[in-house]
Amino acid sequence: MNVNKFVNNFGRCHLRGGFFLSAMAWAMIASRMYADNYTWDGGAGPANDKWSAASNWGFPDTTDVAPPFLDVAGLTNSDIFFAGNIRLIPKVDRTYFIRSLNFNSGAGPFVITPQNSEILRLGAGGIVNNSANIQTLAISLSLSNSQIWNAAAGNLGFSGPVNLNASTLTFAGIFNSTVSNTVSGSGGLVKNDSGTLTLSGAAANTFSGGLALNNGTVLAQKANAFGSGFVTVNAGNLDTATHNQTVGAVTLASGVINGTTGIITGSTYQVQSGTINARLAGGAAMTKSTAGTVTLTSSNLHTGGTTINSGKLAVNNSAGSGTGSGTVTVNNSGVLAGTGNISGAVILNAGSAISPGDVNLVSTLRTGSETWNSGATYIFELKDVDAGAGVGWDALSISGGLTVAAASGNPFFIDVRSLTLANSAGLVNDFDSSQNYSWTIAQTVSGITFGVGESEATVFQLLLGGFANSLDGGTLSLATANAGKDLNLVFTPAAVPEPSAVGVLAVGFGLLLLYHRRFRH
């Protein structure tokens, strides 16, 4: 007996306005709890593109049986396959519950549509496109299990709304997927593999279970495309383009967060490694952790401050403030570097470092007021003695004042390193140990402040292990200049010794002896 026809046509009994399956129907359904394959062959008569038309299907390949549509657990094991090029716009004329949807190799460009407002409910098998043609689902989709939509051999397009419910939807494949409608539910999205997932449409996505990017690209083509939950970038490219996004916690473990004019407003910013080219906003703080390097290139707007606990934060913006308006605090094993601008104050704590430009890159880093605490380090690089600050040597341009909170017994370190013109460790160009030099390494607006009884002669310790040029007996030291507003690194050559009295007498006696010898002859 054909179970589907039995269930659909005879297995219903009317009782007080409701429906229930007869005991016989339940028994037959229970015997079919395994996955059934249904292949679309488009064999129905003219103008009949309905899913419910049995002659459009092969079960398993040759018998005309339409897939079941009732919401019964045993009937959700249906695996649907599309192949060939016949009837490329199937109409879903009932709400179907299926385990998976598959497009075989060689399948034409199908567009699956509803007859009216039907919903296609998908189980754990998900969707796979093994055809080189784009496959489009122009129907409302609802997930009953976590699953994968795989653009394995061709693109996938979804123009109907997608309801995740509480499930996790993973987009995979080397080809691209586009969702041009809303994504809702308490579940979340995961992006794997190298393809691009584009989230577009008119209305915002409201899913709240978060977005995790593990590879490839997720591209926003509308405001609030990323839902309201967390956003985690483990690898790949998250691109806001020109669209603003308001999300939960933002984590950059690796990869890139891109954007042109689009602004991301997160509840927190946890960064470990990678690059952020998009603009960040909101009252949240940024925390840099792990040994990696994070590069900021935009004018950011967040106000919660920035803390560097480990690794390097390179601020390379060209306008505005790369770290927003808050204070930047650099803790033990953290490094603040870059060629950009920081409007907030900078605090260097013990074990931290500041490095204008970067290692083997001379530049100027511009900041607000700075505080240099004991045990912190300024990594200063010099490659050309007379090329100017920011070109020949590193410089800090401080819009406020510099407070040096160090002491003679607990100094602040200046790590002096020499570079070649090719920006590699080596000899400084044109350095002459017989000449005097003075290089401004920090320039302030309101002056340099030392503790009571301290000065530039007592609070600093120079580290010269990375300076390759011979000093030939000369000395490097630090001195304030410009009415106490600048800090200079000064080189003083070795003193030329004056002739001694004995030496002068010896020379005089020699000349006198020579004179007498000539006179006698």
**Which tens digits make up the pLDDT trace of 328-377?**
999 999 999 999 999 999 999 999 999 999 999 999 999 999 999 999 99
First to last CA, the chain: 147
Q: Do 386 and 430 form a contact (C-beta atoms < 8 A)?
A: yes
What share of the chain in percent tops pLDDT 70?
86
Give CA–CA dist 24/13, Å, rounded. Answer: 12
Average pLDDT of the chain to the nearest whole number: 90
Task: Give the tens place of pLDDT for each residue, 462-517.
Answer: 999 999 999 999 999 999 999 999 999 999 999 976 665 555 555 555 555 554 55
Structure tokens at 477: 């030291």
Task: Give the tens place of pLDDT for each residue, 137-181.
Answer: 999 999 999 999 999 999 999 999 999 999 999 999 999 999 999
What is the pLDDT confidence band of residue 58, given thresholds at 50, 70 and 90? Answer: confident
pTM of the full predicted structure? Answer: 0.88
Please say if the pLDDT value at position 410 is more than 70: yes
Give CA–CA dist 318/364, Å, rounded. Answer: 12
Those residues whose C-beta lies under 8 Å from the C-beta of residue 495, and which sit 6 or more positions away, are none
Q: Taking residues 404-430, report their average pLDDT.
A: 97
What is the pLDDT confidence band of residue 69, given thresholds at 50, 70 and 90? Answer: confident
Q: Do 105 and 123 form a contact (C-beta atoms < 8 A)?
A: no
More confident residue, 40 or 514: 40
**Choice among 49-53, 249-253, 342-346, 480-484 with the minimum mean pLDDT:** 49-53
Structure tokens at 422: 């090719």
What is the pLDDT confidence band of residue 44, given thresholds at 50, 70 and 90? Answer: confident
Residue 84, sorted as left (phi over 0), alpha (psi -120 to 50) or beta, turns out to be left
Q: How many CA atoms lie within 13 A of 268 on its CB side?
A: 9
Cβ neighbour number for residue 11 with a 10 Å cutoff: 22
Residue 207 phi, psi dihedral angles, 5° rounding:
-60, 145
In the chain, what are the helix, strand and coil shares in percent, each to the nearest 5? 10, 40, 50
Question: Which residue in 55, 59, 37 sits closest to 47, CA to CA?
Answer: 55
Task: Give the tens place of pLDDT for each residue, 260-297.
Answer: 999 999 999 999 999 999 999 999 999 999 999 999 99
The whole-number pLDDT of residue 159 equals 98
Q: Which residue has the tokens 């219903």?
A: 12
Q: Do 263 and 284 form a contact (C-beta atoms < 8 A)?
A: no
Please say if the pLDDT value at position 17 is more than 50: no
Please say if the pLDDT value at position 314 is more than 70: yes
Structure tokens at 34: 């395994």
Task: Give the tens place of pLDDT for each residue, 223-246.
Answer: 999 999 999 999 999 999 999 999
Give CA–CA dist 152/176, Å, rounded. Answer: 9
Element (DSSP H or E) covering residue 165: none
Structure tokens at 118: 């039907």
Planar angle of CA 156, 93, 66, nearest 5 degrees = 90
Cβ neighbour number for residue 41 with a 10 Å cutoff: 19
Question: Which residue in 377, 452, 461, 387 sits closest to 419, CA to CA?
Answer: 387
Structure tokens at 452: 């009571």
Give CA–CA dist 316/391, Å, rounded. Answer: 16
